[in-house]
């Protein structure tokens, strides 16, 4: 059993990775850390593992192999540095860091200490998404020429972005909804289409009261000639879908369902809903630690999505939105 500590006891570690690690036969949660007493109390209601207010207090008391970092985006690098100093392997929730420079530093730190760095791009491992990617990558639907994808949430209209929360400041989430949501779709597109080479983007603040860009649309060109159109919103009704267009068939993926589109008819595909995405992420890291098995989402995969987000922010800032309009 690989022994894990959780860094951050709110959000994704609480509602996603805790159930995943409890189902795993390869991993064991032995401790957790969060400076927030409220977060520790809420987490303690779900498990009796010892919890601490500081990272140092946790590692002073426990011998562990790895940590799962589920903290706010702007402190990922700080947490990675702490884990590296303690000689721990790392899984960090997406995005790897907020900038390319920070992401490169994180990768270098781990490589220098022969530590494994995994980015928790768990969305690609959700049952419908992973089955869709499996079918598409097998060649069954022909050559992939186009992917369109969207992820939307109402987080920008609610308490997630109220004054004082980390998401309420643009500096903490460069790209806004693209940083928070669209990065999932960047990862899926990269998994399927390969190396991105250029992109153009439109990112704007439309409805949220916080300093947050809440609408984004990005067109990405890939080295193999394929194109991805990725959109995200932080002020729309919850939605996520991926439409993959092949020369023989198409695939339509949502968070919970998958259809093969054959001659304009939608045929549902059976899914393996027993194994969740969190369990897969955790067990891939366990296998990498135990046997050196390559990760599907190593630090470099996270770096690519961060670079795309950074490029999209620059593209949107330089884009001339005042195009001529015919007034006839």
In SS3 terms, 265-306 reads as EEEECCCCCCCCHHHHHHHHHHHHHHHCCCCCCEHHHHHHHH
Query: Under a CB-based contact definition with an 8 Å cutoff, are residues 187 and 196 in contact?
Result: no
Query: In this structure, are 176 and 294 located in the same domain?
Result: no
Query: What whole-number distance in Å separates Cα of residue 194 and Cα of residue 196?
Result: 7
Query: In this structure, are 262 and 160 located in the same domain?
Result: yes
Task: Extract the tokens encoding 124.
Answer: 């690609």
Q: 247 in a domain, yes or no? A: yes
- Give yes or no for residue 291 having a pLDDT over 80: yes
Q: If you average pLDDT over residues 299-326, what whole number do you get?
A: 84
Query: In this structure, are 152 and 257 located in the same domain?
Result: yes
Query: Under a CB-based contact definition with an 8 Å cutoff, are residues 53 and 44 in contact?
Result: no
Query: Under a CB-based contact definition with an 8 Å cutoff, are residues 257 and 268 in contact?
Result: yes
Which pLDDT tens digit goes with each residue over 168-181? 899 999 999 999 99
Q: Which of 240, 257, 273 is the last residue of a domain?
A: 273
Query: In this structure, are 189 and 209 located in the same domain?
Result: yes
Query: In this structure, are 12 and 78 located in the same domain?
Result: yes
Query: In this structure, are 89 and 150 located in the same domain?
Result: no
CATH number at residue 259: 3.30.360.10
Mean pLDDT of the chain: 95
Which uninterrupted H or E stretch holds 308?
A: helix 299-318
Q: 241 in a domain, yes or no? A: yes
- Give yes or no for residue 325 having a pLDDT over 60: no
Task: Extract the tokens encoding 159.
Answer: 């308490």
Query: In this structure, are 102 and 175 located in the same domain?
Result: no
CB atoms inside a 10 Å sphere around CB 325: 6
Phi, psi of 326 (to 5 degrees): -75, 125
**Residue 65 sits in which domain range?**
2-120+278-298
Mention every residue, 6+ apart, whose C-beta is less than 8 A from residue 18: 6, 29, 43, 46, 47
248-266 as b/e, with b when 16 or more CB fall inside 10 Å? ebbbbbeeeebbbbeeeee
Q: If you average pLDDT over residues 76-102, what whole number do you get?
A: 98
Query: What whole-number distance in Å separates Cα of residue 292 and Cα of residue 50?
Result: 30
Query: In this structure, are 107 and 133 located in the same domain?
Result: no
Query: In this structure, are 193 and 260 located in the same domain?
Result: yes
pLDDT of residue 225: 97
Query: In this structure, are 165 and 268 located in the same domain?
Result: yes
- What proportions of the chain, in percent to the nearest 5, are helix, strand and coil? 40, 25, 35
Cis peptide before 95 (omega within 30 of 0): yes
pLDDT of residue 165: 87
Query: In this structure, are 137 and 262 located in the same domain?
Result: yes
Q: 326 in a domain, yes or no? A: no
Cα-based distances in Å from 155 to 13, 26, 128, 160, 161 = 18, 34, 23, 6, 7
CATH number at residue 95: 3.40.50.720
CB atoms inside a 10 Å sphere around CB 85: 13
Model's pTM, two decimal places?
Answer: 0.95
Query: In this structure, are 82 and 167 located in the same domain?
Result: no
SS3 75: helix
Q: If you average pLDDT over residues 285-309, what whole number do you get?
A: 98
Q: Which of 257, 273, 289 is the last residue of a domain?
A: 273
- Which residues are registered as beta bridge partners of 162? none
Which pLDDT tens digit goes with each residue over 6-18? 999 999 999 999 9
Q: 311 in a domain, yes or no? A: no
Q: 161 in a domain, yes or no? A: yes
pLDDT of residue 68: 98
């Amino acid at each position: 059993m690989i022994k894990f500590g959780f860094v951050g006891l709110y959000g994704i570690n609480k509602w996603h990775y805790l159930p995943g690690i409890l189902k795993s036969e390869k991993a064991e949660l032995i401790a957790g850390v969060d400076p927030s007493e409220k977060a520790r109390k809420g987490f303690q209601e779900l498990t009796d593992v010892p919890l601490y207010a500081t990272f140092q207090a946790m590692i002073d008391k426990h011998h562990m192999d790895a940590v799962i970092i589920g903290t706010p985006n702007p402190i990922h690098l700080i947490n990675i540095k702490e884990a590296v100093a303690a000689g721990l392997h790392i899984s960090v929730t997406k995005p790897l860091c907020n900038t390319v420079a920070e992401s490169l530093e994180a990768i270098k730190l781990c490589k220098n200490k022969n530590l494994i760095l995994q980015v928790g791009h768990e969305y690609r491992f959700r049952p419908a998404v992973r089955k869709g990617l499996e079918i598409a990558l097998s060649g069954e639907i022909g050559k992939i020429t186009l992917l369109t994808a969207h992820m939307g949430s109402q987080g920008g209209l609610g308490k997630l972005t109220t004054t004082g929360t980390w998401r309420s400041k643009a500096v903490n989430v460069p790209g806004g909804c693209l940083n928070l949501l669209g990065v999932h779709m960047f990862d899926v597109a990269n998994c399927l289409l390969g190396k991105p080479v250029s992109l153009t983007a439109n990112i704007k603040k439309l409805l949220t009261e916080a300093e947050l860009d809440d609408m984004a649309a990005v067109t990405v060109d890939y080295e193999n000639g394929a194109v991805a159109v990725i959109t995200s919103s932080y002020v729309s009704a919850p939605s996520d879908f991926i439409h993959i267009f092949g020369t023989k068939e198409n695939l339509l993926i949502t968070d919970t369902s998958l259809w093969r589109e054959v001659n304009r008819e939608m045929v549902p595909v059976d899914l393996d809903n027993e194994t969740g995405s969190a369990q897969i992420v955790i067990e891939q890291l366990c296998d990498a630690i135990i046997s050196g098995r390559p990760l599907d989402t190593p630090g470099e995969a996270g770096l690519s999505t961060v670079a795309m987000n950074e490029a999209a922010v620059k593209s949107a800032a330089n884009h001339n939105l005042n195009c001529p309009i015919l007034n006839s």
